[in-house]
Amino acid sequence: MNIPMIRSISHAVLCLALFTTVSCAAPILNVTDAPVKTLSGKELTSDQVTKAIVLAGMGLKWEMDVAAPGHIIGTLNLRSHQAIVDITYNTKIYSIAYKKSRGLMQVNEDGTAIGIHPNYNGWIENLDNAIRTQFIAVEQ
């Protein structure tokens, strides 16, 4: 192989590596003002909503800390990764918002954040689904 061809192949490999790194980053998924819904439409009490959210998180190995009425801090530790979310709620709606993480944020060479590891969004989707399932289970 000649030198220009080696440079061209090296450049292509570098571009592919950069594209793969950037494409793996995802925007942070937050759940905003999701309804607290039961099958019958009956409104749950604040204590029932708290218990449902805590049970949903614990079932998925989240540590759930009731910080104040209407506010739970959820922490998920997996291998060397950690995700922390704020869950705010009342008897009508709940939200799950990114608070901070370790080993999940994707950054550019200059250190600016470009997104989060896509597994994080899957964990939030799973937590959201588990919460909705627990709201339904409260009635049964």
> 131 and 85 in contact (C-beta within 8 Å)?
no
Domains of the chain: 26-139 (3.30.310)
pLDDT tens per residue across span 74-117: 999 999 999 999 999 999 999 999 999 999 998 888 888 889 99
Report yes or no on whether pTM surpasses 0.95.
no
pLDDT tens per residue across span 18-32: 444 444 688 999 999
d(CA 98, CA 76): 12
d(CA 74, CA 94): 13
